[in-house]
Amino acid sequence: MKQNCNNKNKQSKKSIDREKRRRLMIIGASCGLVLCLTTLVVFKKEMSEEVIGILYMITGIFGACLMDAYNFEFGFLKKKFRNKNKSKRD
């Protein structure tokens, strides 16, 4: 009985850690996207074309990361991942 209780505590700790990582991933991607966009809007006239191109590329990467994180949290991929894990457990 005691071992079963310990397993539940370990599982709940793992789920809490996963939630923290998920939130950190979404917050980090959002902050990076906003920071790149603000830099482009505010300093566009002072920057060279190469730097602007690099910032646009980094902005696109942050946007793709945010899209993937959003899809995993709320979209189709999360349902697909859950179904895949359920079949492994059975």
Residue-wise pLDDT tens digits, 10-62: 666 777 787 888 888 889 999 999 999 999 999 999 999 999 999 999 999 99
User: For residue 44, what is the enclosing H or E element?
Assistant: none
Give residue 73's domain range: 2-89
- pTM over cut 0.75: no
Which residues contact residue 44 at a Cβ distance below 8 angstroms, ignoring those fewer than 6 apart? 52
3-state helix, strand, coil in the chain (%, to 5): 90, 0, 10
In the numeric block, the tokens 């996963």 are attached to: 18
Counted domains in the chain: 1
